[in-house]
């Protein structure tokens, strides 16, 4: 990233652990990145790699048993993790908003959608109830909910899955936050609705000049929405690059495997390629690269020592092959 860009969010050496009867297990290992204003960072990887834990950490919303073991999360220069509770509550929703995976579990089933949107507006502004209701109706219309005056008084079960996700987007954007965190916002939707929701998020992000952290396991949808991509595996960042560079030339074998396994109309193989094996379970003892047991290019050093993040031409890659390639280039 350009050092002169105006950085909105800075994550430094973030480490997250969970407590259990066996002790503490670290599930996120020293994650660091910077997000400029108005840009979109996609965080990608298989289930269990630490994507959602990372997202919840940004707002200090880890579930019971989870704790920030080390690191900092700076939003506009403020360390979010050290803010007093009252200031942290003001930050959530007003300046940083989050869209969760499943809107049916995020929306209160016994309250109308209108009351849930206006509650956030009333909590963070000086609006009257009438003004808050008018703003909520405008938001519903903006995200594509027809007849918002009537639908304000309906309950979540009266909406389709795609409509509920649009309502969650309206709630997230009701205070025009500077940062939007979207955690797998299209996972439970069919392909057509996915495309509509992605287009809606991208349009609103550009219109409001928001920054966004977009979390997904699906690299196929990243190219159209992200400026930068960060690939997680086993709780580690294994690659970070501009989206166009990553799709043009992925450097880490894991990223290469993810891209190679995407469905393509041009591919004529009968069977879709897949990455052999399974991701490591959290807390699995390891000395070398976490991807080494599944990597087709692993060598002795990969199993013995964890590679650092090699930085080259503005990209970061956690792979010993980068050192090998650099040494080959010097000979």
Mean pLDDT across 222-231: 93
CATH of domain 7-95+175-330: 3.40.50.300
CB of 38 within 8 A of CB of 62?
Answer: no
Q: What angle do CA 26, 49, 16 make, to 5 degrees?
A: 30
- Residues whose CB is less than 8 angstroms from the CB of residue 263 and which lie 6 or more positions away in sequence, other chains included: 220, 272
Confidence at 330, pLDDT banded by 50, 70, 90: very low
Residue 267 pLDDT > 60: no
> For residue 15, what are the CA distances in angstroms to 21, 49, 57, 75?
20, 13, 9, 17
Tens of pLDDT, residue by residue over 23-81, are: 889 999 999 999 999 999 999 999 889 999 999 999 999 999 999 999 999 999 999 99
Tell me how far apart the alpha carbons of residues 235 and 226 are, in angstroms, rounded to a whole number.
21
pTM for the model: 0.90
- Per-residue pLDDT, averaged over 215-232, amounts to 90
- Give CA separation, 53 vs 109, 175, 177, 222, 276, in Å: 25, 25, 21, 20, 25
Ordered by start, the domain boundaries in the chain are 7-95+175-330, 104-174
Residue 331 is predicted with a pLDDT of 37
Cα separation, 66 vs 78, whole angstroms: 22
**Cβ neighbours of residue 208 closer than 8 Å, sequence gap 6 or more:** 173, 176
Instruction: Note the pLDDT tens digit of each residue in 155-214.
Output: 999 999 889 989 998 998 888 899 999 998 887 778 888 888 888 888 888 888 999 999
pLDDT at residue 264, rounded to an integer: 61
Interval 77-108: pLDDT, tens: 999 999 999 899 889 878 999 988 777 778 99
Question: Quick check: 217 pLDDT over 90?
Answer: no
Note the pLDDT of residue 142. Answer: 87
Q: What's the chain's average pLDDT?
A: 89
Q: CA-CA distance, 163 to 154, in Å (whole number)?
A: 12
Instruction: From 316, 284, 217, 236, select the one nearest 28 (Cα to Cα).
Output: 236
State yes or no: pLDDT of 270 exceeds 60. Answer: no
* β-strand partners of 92: 96
Q: Report the distance separating Cα 291 and Cα 257, nearest Å.
A: 11
Q: What is the pLDDT of residue 265?
A: 47
Task: Kindly report, residue by residue over 298-319, the tens digit of the pLDDT.
Answer: 999 999 999 999 998 889 999 9
């Amino acid at each position: 990233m350009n050092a002169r860009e105006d950085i909105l969010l800075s994550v430094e050496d973030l480490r997250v652990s969970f407590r259990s009867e066996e002790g503490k297990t670290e599930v996120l290992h020293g994650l660091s990145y910077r997000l400029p204003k108005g840009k979109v960072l996609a965080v990608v990887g298989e289930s269990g790699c630490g994507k959602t834990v990372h997202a919840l950490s940004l707002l200090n919303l880890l579930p019971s048993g989870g704790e920030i073991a080390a690191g900092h999360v700076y939003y506009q220069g403020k360390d979010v993790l050290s803010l007093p509770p009252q200031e942290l509550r003001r930050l959530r929703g007003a300046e940083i908003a989050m869209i969760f995976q499943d809107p049916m579990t995020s929306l209160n089933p016994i309250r109308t959608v209108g009351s849930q949107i206006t509650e956030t507006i009333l909590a963070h502004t000086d609006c009257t109830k009438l003004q808050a209701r008018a703003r909520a109706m405008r938001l519903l219309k903006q995200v594509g909910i027809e007849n918002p005056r009537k639908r304000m008084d309906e309950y979540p079960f009266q909406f389709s899955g795609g409509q509920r996700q649009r309502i969650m987007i309206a709630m997230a954007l009701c205070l025009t936050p500077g940062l939007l965190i979207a955690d797998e916002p299209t996972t439970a939707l069919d392909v057509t609705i996915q495309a509509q929701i992605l287009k809606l998020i991208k349009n609103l992000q550009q219109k409001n000049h928001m920054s966004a952290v977009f979390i997904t396991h699906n690299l196929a949808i990243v190219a159209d929405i992200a400026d930068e991509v960060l690939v997680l595996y086993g709780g580690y960042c294994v690659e970070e690059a501009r989206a166009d560079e990553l799709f043009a030339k992925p450097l880490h074998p894991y990223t290469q495997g993810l891209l190679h396994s995407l469905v393509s109309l041009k591919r004529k193989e009968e069977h879709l390629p897949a990455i052999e094996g399974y991701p490591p379970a959290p807390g699995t003892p390891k000395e070398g690269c976490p991807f080494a047991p599944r990597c087709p290019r692993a060598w002795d050093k990969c199993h013995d020592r964890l590679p650092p993040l090699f930085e080259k031409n503005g990209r970061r890659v956690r792979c010993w092959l980068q050192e090998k390639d650099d040494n080959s280039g010097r000979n």
